[in-house]
Amino acid sequence: MARKVQEQIVPADVVIVLTTLSAAADAGALANTLLGERLAACVNVLAPMTSFYRWKGNVERDEERQVIIKTTRAVLDRLEARVLALHPYDTPEFLVLAVDGGGDAYLRWVAESTTASARIPFRLPPQL
């Protein structure tokens, strides 16, 4: 009996991308766009936080939301271009963090979710 061999997903193929948005921005719209275009498997939008940073010679303080994007290196360039196109900031945060390990099923899900041929159609979740 022949067994189907599943493709091994290497943890390094999966990355986490960080960006921030103004607390007043529509982070849900960004998340839905990235998911709909299969540039992300999951987007977490954290609660508003206070950010302190240096900008144009001044120390600034703003209310922002941290956005955490789970994706793959295969779509990283397209993801960056899309985030930069949609982002309201002049110089948005776009930090890529390597994944050193993870559950095989989870890593496979991230890879499948960012592949155009994935079997699961995209539907917007109901509003809470």
Q: How far apart are CA 34 and CA 113, in angstroms?
A: 11
CATH number of 11-113: 3.30.70.120
pLDDT tens digits, residue range 32-73? 999 999 999 999 999 999 999 999 999 999 999 999 999 999
DSSP state of 89: S
**Residue 3: predicted pLDDT:** 43
Which residues are CB-neighbours of 28 under 8 A, at least 6 positions away?
45
Q: How far apart are CA 109 and CA 98, in angstroms?
A: 17
**pTM given for the model:** 0.85
CA distances for 50 relative to 20, 38, 61, 127, angstroms: 11, 30, 7, 26
